[in-house]
């Protein structure tokens, strides 16, 4: 249940990795050249933004060429000992069974810190003499600290895939998940991710997991600038902080709408507080928050909002006592919010109607909707003559009349009387 879609739908062949065709070819050609002897450059440096497919390209290439794949993370190579171990790996031409070896040194951006001067020098020495291909990845290859390392590497740039390429990948994921997704919706997700495929797949999972259909309206929610990042940050703190006070602060310092946040927390809590005892405590707390929400709605005592915030933030945070927090679980977009965006058109229509009413009745548009609209509906449904008179007075158009009359037949009657 908690597998991420980036893992579950990771490309299995080089062909399934979208974008960067020239870079992939260049890399593969270099790797194959080891079959006929050691090439001049014994290392390759693949660089580019996060989430564009650098690591998965290397992994898949090793698999396709039937090589032994040794993956190491650069941050493990801070000590002389570790570097020696790494040197040992690199000093052999092949494994015992004759398989060639590919060594990955992933995410080297961190390795060239000030304290690592010695490490970088040591690494450069290994790159110069290695008997097996070594591949490094980095976000920024032109960091001056890499000058020495770069000399020994075939430097290959990875660009962010195009929108179309990103969509191709999302389509494949949707097909495997049995989701019928609109092209427009997928395009929107890729655009919003800044063409970072990993992040686009994460968003897709949050928006579409468990659904069979994904429309543009379902994803439009992403368009609010920084809203997603902001909400995810607050959610992360509420679900995983050890400190209730910190969670409360995260909510009050953000300008996420508390009502919307409530739905986010309510819908996501069961996936993050997996221990049943924790979940009961959290749900109790959310129930209390909900009671205060209702009281605010009924009485407009907004000073009660702080209790809502306490119960839904700190209350949930301190409920986590036994739940394990292993692995990354994506936050889901609450169904309620998706529903609100779907009825956005309807709400815009109501506002237009409210404006017409407020002009004549000299009250605000919101009050018009709340106080006048229900009576108008009763009149329009039952008394065509009066409805016609009111329509003329308010200057309603036919769409508005139909909305109030609630049926085509009644609408026709009213319109006929109007004429």
> Nearest-CA neighbor of 271 among 279, 263, 261?
279
Looking at 54-62, 246-254, 357-365, 395-403, which segment touches Mg ion (CB under 5 A)? 54-62
**Residue 381 DSSP label:** H
Residue 27 neighbours by CB under 8 Å, 6+ apart: 44, 46, 57, 58, 61, 156
First to last CA, the chain: 61
5 vs 380, which CB is nearer to Mg ion? Answer: 5
Applying CB under 6 A, what is the total number of residues that bind ligand ADP? 19
Binding partner of 198, given Mg ion, ligand ADP, none, CB within 5-8 angstroms per partner class? ligand ADP
What b/e sequence results for 91-111 when a residue is b if at least 16 CB atoms lie within 10 Å of its CB, and e otherwise?
eeeeeeeeebbbbbbbbbbeb
| Helix (H/G/I), strand (E/B), else coil: 47 | strand
Classify the C-alpha dihedral 197-199-202-204 as positive or negative: negative
Q: Which helix (H) or strand (E) holds 127?
A: helix 117-129
If the CB atoms of residues 55 and 60 are measured against Mg ion, the closer one turns out to be 55
**Binding-site partner at residue 214 among ligand ADP, Mg ion, none, CB < 5 to 8 Å by type:** none
* Binding at 103: pick from Mg ion, ligand ADP, none (beta carbon under 5-8 Å per type): none
Question: Which one of residues 44, 56, 112, 400 is an interface residue with ligand ADP (CB under 6 A)?
Answer: 56
Q: Is residue 24 a contact residue for ligand ADP (CB under 6 A)?
A: no
323 binds Mg ion (CB under 5 A): no
Told to check if 161 binds ligand ADP by CB under 6 A, we report yes
Q: Which two tokens stand for residue 169?
A: 């990948």
Query: Nearest residue by C-beta to ligand ADP?
Result: 53
CB-nearer residue toward ligand ADP: 173 or 401:
173
The listed partner (Mg ion, ligand ADP, none) that binds 74, CB under 5 to 8 Å by sort, is none
For Mg ion (CB under 5 A), the number of binding residues is 1
**How many angstroms from the chain centroid is the CA of residue 98?**
43
How far apart are alpha carbons 144 and 125 in whole angstroms? 18
Q: Is 11 a residue that touches ligand ADP (CB under 6 A)?
A: yes
Q: Using the rule CB under 6 A, is 17 a contact of ligand ADP?
A: yes
Residues at the interface with Mg ion (CB under 5 A): 55
Residues at the interface with ligand ADP (CB under 6 A): 6, 10-11, 17-19, 50-56, 137, 161, 169, 197-198, 201
């Amino acid at each position: 249940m908690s597998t991420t879609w980036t893992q579950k739908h990771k490309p299995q062949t080089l062909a399934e990795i979208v974008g960067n065709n020239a870079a992939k070819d260049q890399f593969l050609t270099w790797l194959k050249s080891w079959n006929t002897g050691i090439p001049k450059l014994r290392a390759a440096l693949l660089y580019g933004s996060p989430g564009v497919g650098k690591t998965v390209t290397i992994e898949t290439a090793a698999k396709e060429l039937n090589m032994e794949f040794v993956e190491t993370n650069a941050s493990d190579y801070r000590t002389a000992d570790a570097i020696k171990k790494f040197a040992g790996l690199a000093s052999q031409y092949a494994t015992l069974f004759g398989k060639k070896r590919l060594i990955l040194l992933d995410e080297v951006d961190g390795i060239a810190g000030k304290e690592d001067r010695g490490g970088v020098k040591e690494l450069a020495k290994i790159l110069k003499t290695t008997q097996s291909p070594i591949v490094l990845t980095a976000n920024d290859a032109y960091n001056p600290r890499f000058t020495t390392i770069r000399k020994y590497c075939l430097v290959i740039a990875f660009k962010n895939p195009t929108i179309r390429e990103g969509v191709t990948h999302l389509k494949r994921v949707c097909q495997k998940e049995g989701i019928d997704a609109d092209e427009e919706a997928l395009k929107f997700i890729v655009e919003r991710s800044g063409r970072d495929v990993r992040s686009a797949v994460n968003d897709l999972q949050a928006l579409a997991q468990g659904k069979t259909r994904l429309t543009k309206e379902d994803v439009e929610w992403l368009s609010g600038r920084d809203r997603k990042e902001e909400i995810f940050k607050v959610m992360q703190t509420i679900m995983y902080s050890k400190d209730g006070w910190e969670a409360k602060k995260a909510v009050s310092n953000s300008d996420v709408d508390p009502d919307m946040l409530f739905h986010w927390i309510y819908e996501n809590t069961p996936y993050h507080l997996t221990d049943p005892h924790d979940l009961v405590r959290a749900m109790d707390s959310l129930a209390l928050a909900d009671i205060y929400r209702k009281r605010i709605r009924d009485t407009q005592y907004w000073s009660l909002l702080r209790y809502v915030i306490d119960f839904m933030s700190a209350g949930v945070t301190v409920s986590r006592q036994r739940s394990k927090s292993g692995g990354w679980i994506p936050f889901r977009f609450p169904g309620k919010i998706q529903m609100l965006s779907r009825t956005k058109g309807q709400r815009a229509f109501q506002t237009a109607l409210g404006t017409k009413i407020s002009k004549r009745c000299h009250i605000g548009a919101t009050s018009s909707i709340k106080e006048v609209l229900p009576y108008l509906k009763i009149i329009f449904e039952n008394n065509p003559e009066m409805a016609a008179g009111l329509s003329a007075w308010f200057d309603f158009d036919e769409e508005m009349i139909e909305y109030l009359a609630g049926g085509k037949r009644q609408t026709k009657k009213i319109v006929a009387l109007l004429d």
